[in-house]
Amino acid sequence: MQVSLRVVVADDHPVILFGAEHALHKFPGIQVVGSARQSTELVNMLRSTECDVLVTDLAMPGGQYGDGLQLIDYLRRNFPKLLIVVLTMLENAALLKRLKELGVTSVVNKADDMSHIALAVQHVGRRMSYMSPSVKVVLDGLRVNFAGRRDDSKLSRRELEVVRLFVSGMTIKEISLHLNRSIKTISTQKNAAMRKLGIERDSELFQYAHSNGLLNPSSNARQDIASES
């Protein structure tokens, strides 16, 4: 008799949560044993429910354990045997590389058919990696594999300069004063950089900067400016 893979699904969007559960129920050998909408619910469920595979949204704000790479890192450290499939709308090869470094080898883009979620679960259950079609396109298009390569070369010198200062802790206004450019120009350059990197939120920009060596935890931009004055 085939043993079912016990799956927990986590997503803060009810429609996605329902769709994922519905897609998983169609596949034999997969049993959905629970769902969660934020990190506190998720961690409590994992502590009380036997689970083989977690299917989780990467951007799931709310809850005491955070979301994104922070949550994935926590789960890998506290539930080392748990297999993880990540759902995301983010098309960022650097983030995929960082997920791989954290032990996540299966990623599904929400823009792809829901059936890919079940296929990813089946693959991780066999200790195999799985990338949905849109994720493969991102990796192939940027010629980035899990061996890793930075893709910030597509940014202009000024865009990269703005990103470095922003992730170092400076506000748009402070960057404007520091570089002697208008606030509108700085904002435009920051937004252009995020668009080129396939990044939609500031939190994702910080994650990208951290995984690509653009963020130096030991430095503080405000202190650097103060020392120059």
pLDDT single digits (tens) 135-174:
887 766 544 433 344 455 578 889 988 998 998 889 999 9
What is the rounded distance in angstroms from the CA atom of residue 213 to the CA atom of residue 217? 10
pLDDT in tens, 101-113: 888 989 999 999 9
What is the rounded distance in angstroms from the CA atom of residue 7 to the CA atom of residue 49? 10
| Residue 15 DSSP SS3 | helix
Query: Is the pTM above the cut of 0.85?
Result: no
Burial group, residue 86, by CB count within 10 angstroms (0-12, 13-18, 19+): buried
Please name each of the domains of the chain with its CATH number: 5-142 (3.40.50.2300), 152-224 (1.10.10.10)
If you ran DSSP here, which 8-state letter would residue 155 be given?
A: S
pLDDT in tens, 11-28: 999 999 999 999 999 998
In 1-67, which residue ranges form alpha helices assigned H by DSSP? 14-25, 39-48
Whether residue 56 contacts residue 69, with contact meaning beta carbons closer than 8 Å, is answered with no
If you ran DSSP here, which 8-state letter would residue 52 be given?
A: S
